[in-house]
Structure 1
Amino acid sequence: MGHRSDHRPARLIPLAFLITALIGTGLLCLPAATVEPGGAPVMTALFTAVSAVCVTGLIVQDTAQYWSFFGQVVILGLFQLGGLGIMSGATLLGLLVKRHLQLSSRLVAQRETHSLGLGDVTSVLRIILLVTLAVEAVLTAILALHLHLMYDEPWRTALWNGLFHAVSAFNNAGFSTYSDSLARFVADPVIIVPMMLALIIGGLGFPVLYEVSNWRKGKRWSIHAQITLWGSAVLLLGGTLVILAYEWSNPATLADQPVWQKLLSAVFHSATARTAGFYTVDVGAMEPQTLAANYLLMFIGGGSAGTAGGIKVTTFFLLFFFIWAEIRGNPDTVVFRRRIPHAIERQAMTVLSLGFVSVALGTTALLSFTEHEMGAVVFEAISAFSTVGLSTGITAELPPAGQLVIIALMFVGRVGTITLAAALALRGASKHYRYPEERPIVG
């Protein structure tokens, strides 16, 4: 009986997301949800609801022009619930896993990793909620004030646009109440920089935010926090350099911008390419090399137990440490003077492999339903699976069957990684027997 209950979180998470998406679909089908009378078709409502609750940002209809204020409120509610559910759900699963350890082991693990405590679950959720609301409130105030004073938006409009973008940014949702996303603000650092900081903070993951906020001099950060922070910095810098190298002279993207604006645009795109679907330059007009770099950035995604998708920063960089240890013939993988268990290696390889398989199957299915070129289809498949939301512009042109493939990729990419983590971490006790060993040829 206990074995079955241990796996219940792995079943409840996708079920909760599915029910939320279906409720959102029903609300978006109401006549009041659209600007034009009659309401949205079921497929349009379903696609938008799943994209919102999975905090992806891919759309088949212009959010600003197609959905009414009520419809936009529903969309905001969906990606707020999706973001909070992912952060709290993944974090609490981590606590649940630790509860299966003996008390002495838990105390040692807590002391050595400086991880979250095992206290009242309600207090943990309260902290997550407070961090979320605090970041969103500050960003809303900055955006609303600036939109009113500098862009002459009426206070009511400025407040709504500020709130919508603040919640969308922190939850890495990528939805915008402007038809051109953030392209109109490409030269406005007061809009771009706070938005970028919010999506980076949301994408780091709550365990990292918790450690950073509770850091004291002489206290050691956990391996997870160190890999996430250093890895995110490396990916942000690397993505920026690649974008600058290939888009500097591209007349359709950065060529006509002054140097400071090119730098701002490159940093912003490098940040949003791993987590959210906001854009300030035309993604479809980027050079093939830049799009290829986007494949990798999107596939990696953000931090674990955060609002970003992908296979996660820790998974990606741990694989490098595993490979380096194997090349050097070391029996143990050591990161920052800490040994990584072999079970983590298997989990990382499982997440990576299933991610590749999901994208490959999704790409193959999409190619069956569209005549778009391979590069654009691969981009869309990775963007959906990693819940990034960037698009080369083909999503709205896909037939219903193609849109269903995107819906499946978004759902698997967002919920599947959490469910997989729960299933791997909460699996039953080890067997009391082992089969004889044999070594097949590798490579």
Structure 2
Amino acid sequence: MNIKYIRLNPSQLLLLVFLFFIILGTILLKLPFATTESVSWTDALFTATSAMTVTGLAVVDTGTAYTLFGQLVIVMLIQVGGLGIMSFAVLIFIMLGKKIGFKERLLIQQALNQTSLGGIIKLVKNLFIFSLSIELIAMLLLAIRWVPEYGWGKGMYYSFFHSISAFNNAGFSLWPDNLMGYVGDPLVNLVISSLFILGGIGFTVLVDVWYKRSFKKLSLHSKLMIVGTLVLNVIATVIVFSMEYNNPDTLGPMSLGDKFWGSYFQAVTTRTAGFNSLDIGSLHEATITLMLLFMFVGAGSASTGGGIKLTTFLVIVLSVLTFLQGKKQITVGRRSIKDEVIFRSLSISAISILFIFLAVLLLNITEPIPFLKLLFEVISAFGTVGLSMGITADLSNIGKIIIVFIMFLGKLGPLTFAFSLAKPEQEKIRYPSEDVLTG
């Protein structure tokens, strides 16, 4: 892990390491004993990228197109991509008794999207303890449901695969219809949704809650994430339940209990999880529109999910409210938010919208597919969600490469990608200000 002689900034090195693992995964998935059918290089690249970026979009059925070896490659890519390459590197170096230098800490800081170097190594250690413990508990709970149904071997394996896929917000499933067969199953719904909510809320929040055990003592970031996640999930569940209640292709034929579970699961999964218990292509367009917003917002910083991040969205909303109130400073819970955070949030959102627009434009040129379905696919890829209206396998090779790039961008983050291309410089000169007409 000695990067002393590599003249790359952390963003550039992180980008290259991600590319290396994606290429390695592509090669492994092209091995003869990794598949049960012919899989092209483009499809292998797409699958490896989708797993490494914990997206979940699939061009072939994971449960039938790949052998046990191929599925294990996918689940390992999910684990490495979700918990972070640098986190695994830190664990290995700690086990070997190696010293982790300042440059390495900078790289870890970039990978985990942290604002300071303080406590980075401790955060990584806690990340592994929490993550593996949660995945193990979830696997045992899912086994209660699936071992009686599939037997010990297959039941435990399915529990193992889906617990890792869910906690890392990947959305990969071994069933062709994902989790539609368990739409009304309380155990599967609660365990899977708890996994991707915990994985998507962010490791810094989980550590903060574990050590402080009091909402009042939590950091502002943790408070915003917890309250924001709860509010958005409740609002989304109510809206999906209301919109799809009489839809004959989704909730319509179900019992009241199944309607609740179906609307709850499909509402919360849009925050980058990618599992579906309802047929996405059969949802009303109003429901799809709501899902576009939630996929764009995504999960929390330093989490396994993607999107612009919930706190970024909340900062922008608070900025607008502050401006409308005629105030000069954003304050939340007797704490003010720095201008630097506001600029960063606006930059992330602007760059994200620009890339999404360009991707949709290109796909409209290359793919004979309706606009809404293409927009849904692109935002799903950017938010590393993995939900699809059923067009992924129908994309041309060019279309698949465009989605691969968007998944890669969504996982690394727009600013990390931008910084890898152009190193930001510190301003040395301050110029006089002048008003510009806006609005």
- What's the TM-score, normalizing by structure 1? 0.89
Q: 1:148 to 1:422 in 2, by over 3 A?
A: same
Q: Deviations over 1:274-317 (max 9, x none)?
A: 11111111000000000000100100001111011110000101
Contact 1:30 1:40 in 2 (8 A): no
Partner residue, 1:105? none
Q: Deviations over 1:143-163 (max 9, x none)?
A: 1232112x2x12111111100
Count of aligned positions? 415
Partner residue, 2:322? 325
Cα distance, 1:327 vs structure 2: 1.4
Q: Deviations over 1:94-145 (max 9, x none)?
A: 797524xxxxxxxxxxxxxxxxxx24x4433221111110011011111123
Q: 1:90 to 1:136 in 2, by over 3 A?
A: farther
1:370 aligns with one of 367, 370, 376: 367
Cα separation, 1, equivalents of 2:252 and 2:84 = 41
Q: CA RMSD in A?
A: 2.2
2:428 aligns with one of 417, 432, 435: 432
Cα separation, 1, equivalents of 2:45 and 2:287 = 31
Amino acid at match of 1:57: G
**Aligned partner of residue 214 in structure 1, secondary structure:** helix
Partner residue, 1:348? 345
**Aligned partner of residue 327 in structure 2, secondary structure:** coil
Cα distance, 1:227 vs structure 2: 1.0
Partner residue, 1:67? 66
Cα distance, 1:361 vs structure 2: 0.7
Partner residue, 2:116? 98
Cα separation, 1, equivalents of 2:396 and 2:381 = 16
Contact 1:87 1:205 in 2 (8 A): no
Indicate yes or no: 2:277 matched with 1:280.
yes
2:211 aligns with one of 209, 214, 233: 214
Residues 37-52 of structure 1 mapped to structure 2, 5 A cutoff: 40-52=39-51
Cα separation, 2, equivalents of 1:218 and 1:349 = 28
**Aligned partner of residue 387 in structure 2, secondary structure:** coil
Cα distance, 1:365 vs structure 2: 0.8
Amino acid at match of 1:9: P
Partner residue, 2:243? 246
Contact 1:310 1:385 in 2 (8 A): yes
Q: 1:271 to 1:355 in 2, by over 3 A?
A: same
Cα separation, 1, equivalents of 2:211 and 2:224 = 18
Contact 2:15 2:420 in 1 (8 A): no
Cα separation, 2, equivalents of 1:43 and 1:248 = 39
Amino acid at match of 1:262: K
Amino acid at match of 1:128: L
Cα separation, 1, equivalents of 2:168 and 2:415 = 16
Q: Deviations over 1:49-78 (max 9, x none)?
A: 000000000000000110111100000010
Residues 157-172 of structure 1 mapped to structure 2, 5 A cutoff: 157-172=154-169
Partner residue, 1:110? none
Give the unaligned 5+ runs of structure 1.
Answer: 100-117
Amino acid at match of 1:310: G
Residues 133-144 of structure 1 mapped to structure 2, 5 A cutoff: 133-144=132-143
Cα distance, 1:91 vs structure 2: 7.0
Amino acid at match of 2:347: T
- What's the TM-score, normalizing by structure 2? 0.90
**Aligned partner of residue 212 in structure 2, secondary structure:** coil
Q: 1:84 to 1:218 in 2, by over 3 A?
A: closer
Give the unaligned 5+ runs of structure 2.
Answer: 88-105
Q: 1:332 to 1:368 in 2, by over 3 A?
A: same
Cα separation, 1, equivalents of 2:183 and 2:215 = 41
Amino acid at match of 1:21: I
